[in-house]
Amino acid sequence: MTGDWLTRFRRVTAECLLGGFVLGVLAFVCYWLGVGVAPTGFTFLTTLVLLSLRGSFASSVILSAASVALLVFIFARPVAWDLKASVFRDIALMVAFPVTTLIVTWLVSDVRRRSAALKVSERHWKEIFEQNPTMYFLIDAEGTIRSVNAFGASQLGYEVNQLVGQPVLGLFLEADRGSVQDNLALCVETPGRSRVWEARKVRKDGAVLWVRENAKFVQWGENEPIFLVSCEDISQRKDAEEAYADLARVSRINVIGELTASLAHEVNQPITAAVANANACLRWLAADTPNLEEAREAASAIVSDGTRAAAIISRTRRLFEKGAPQREAIDVDDVVRDTVLLLAGEASRYSVSIRSWLAAGSLDVVGDRVQLQQVLTNLILNGIDAMKEVEGTREIAIRSRRTDEDQIMVSVSDTGVGLPPERAEQLFDTFFTTKPQGTGMGLSISRSIISAHGGRLWAEPNEPRGAVFRFTLPIRSPP
């Protein structure tokens, strides 16, 4: 702090010495030429304004005081002692001069200060634009790149001058150019409002980057519309999402592996019934007097049995499918019923009864039916697995209800071995498992699915024994 004051003092002193020398030379010239007080004052004022452009406000004030002293004691002295009308004129001039000088020097100093602050701000923003690890683009209304920061150019494998003047759509994967153009058009329709989308850009070497674009259409200057665009590289996030989706699919396949016996049991029933009805139909038709009415009923039963078998296979096959989540209005109670029906054979195999108390009503949630069925399947199979070696009652209870927070809560409880108390918090960690042949992915993926649907999944001990898993889902808002 002391060093700063000393530096400022030295600078003001130097400015005062230089200004004093200039004013002294002007005073000598004006006095030698016999110039009056008014022209001399105007000359001093002009000089002080010029000095203010280069010096500080403090030196300008000191030099203004020196100018007044020169005017009073040199140029106005011959009339200062006379009581004439000119005295009052000179007095008014002496008062107006310092006031005008101070105002002008203050205004000049303020302009200099603002200009310096603007330059500093411009330099800082330029550094941010050039060095910030975000890709920034300025694009004109025709879609031509006007400017790009060095980081943005390097991320795409170019130099800055190689991108300036090029069409921005050329940087995107051809399949994404249409959607990018549509989003830019929407930005034009809502000027000043940001619009965010995801797309793929192609590097100079041909590699593809996933980017998250944030664009705004504004007026640059008086009549120059331009797009301000920032881009974030989200390739790693996209890769992670794809990998996690593959893990989720592997988890579903593992679940299906455990469901094989249950599936065989469920499909075998309608197939057996269809065969029996087909034989009955043949008998009615082979009689001496064919009974067409009974044959028709048997044929109808065959169709019903075939439809039931197809539905079972269809529900199971959807768990194998790889694709983007399908968001739709879902009745959670229906999902529970379908899942219980699918797992009835597996439960019967281990003498486990599944009981349901469904009180969510017809309230819908928005989500992917297959993913929610996967969560319920995981929880029910975990409950069955926890009761395989347990003596006594083996029961899974599934309950649904509406909460006070406009959510649907579903609980799946069992009477198995219960939660490991010392490791209960690790149940939802990836690759953590208490099963000898477990992958440690089921509960982790189930929690991720519920979180993606805006809900929460957690576990608690069940009384008198076992565990209970609960999850919530937000109720869909009415249209």
Q: In terms of pTM, does the model score above 0.95? A: no
Residue with tokens 């995107």: 172
Q: What is the pLDDT of residue 85?
A: 44
Q: What is the pLDDT of residue 84?
A: 45
Q: What is the pLDDT of residue 291?
A: 76
Q: What is the pLDDT of residue 313?
A: 66
Q: What is the pLDDT of residue 468?
A: 92
196 forms beta bridges with 214
- Cα–Cα distances in angstroms (integers) from residue 8 to residues 5, 62, 102, in the given order: 5, 14, 20
- Cα–Cα distances in angstroms (integers) from residue 130 to residues 135, 145, 247, in the given order: 9, 16, 39
Q: What is the pLDDT of residue 69?
A: 72
CA angle 261, 266, 269 (to 5 degrees): 125
H helices of 319-397, where? 332-342, 344-349, 369-386
Residue with tokens 């065959």: 302
Q: What is the pLDDT of residue 399?
A: 93
Q: What is the pLDDT of residue 255?
A: 59
H helices of 55-176, where? 57-70, 77-80, 85-131, 150-155, 160-163
3-state secondary structure of 58: helix
Q: Say how far apart CA 10 and CA 412 lie, in whole Å.
A: 81
Q: For helices 332-342 and 260-286, what crossing angle results, to 10°?
A: 80
Q: Are 476 and 367 in contact (CB under 8 A)?
A: no
Q: Is 217 left (phi over 0), alpha (psi -120 to 50) or beta?
A: beta
Q: What is the pLDDT of residue 326?
A: 65
Burial class (CB in 10 A: 0-12, 13-18, 19+), 223: exposed
Full pLDDT tens readout for the chain, 479 residues: 455 677 777 777 877 777 777 777 777 777 777 776 667 767 776 776 666 666 666 776 777 777 777 766 666 655 444 444 455 555 665 666 666 666 766 776 677 677 767 777 666 666 665 666 678 888 888 889 888 888 888 888 888 888 888 998 989 999 899 989 898 888 888 888 888 888 999 998 888 888 889 988 887 766 678 888 888 888 887 877 676 666 666 665 665 555 555 555 556 656 766 776 777 778 777 777 777 787 777 778 777 767 766 766 665 565 555 555 567 888 888 888 888 877 777 788 788 899 998 876 666 788 888 778 878 888 888 888 888 888 888 899 999 998 887 889 999 999 988 877 665 566 666 544 555 444 455 677 788 888 888 899 888 888 888 889 999 999 876 54
Report DSSP state, residue 74.
Answer: I
Which domains are present in the chain? 2-128 (no CATH), 132-233 (3.30.450.20), 235-321 (1.10.287), 324-479 (3.30.565.10)
Q: What is the pLDDT of residue 396?
A: 92
Q: Are 211 and 231 in contact (CB under 8 A)?
A: yes
Q: Say how far apart CA 296 and CA 284 lie, in whole Å.
A: 9
H helices of 132-234, where? 150-155, 160-163, 177-189
Q: Are 59 and 12 in contact (CB under 8 A)?
A: yes
352 sits in which H/E element: none
- Rg (C-alpha) for the chain, rounded Å, is 43
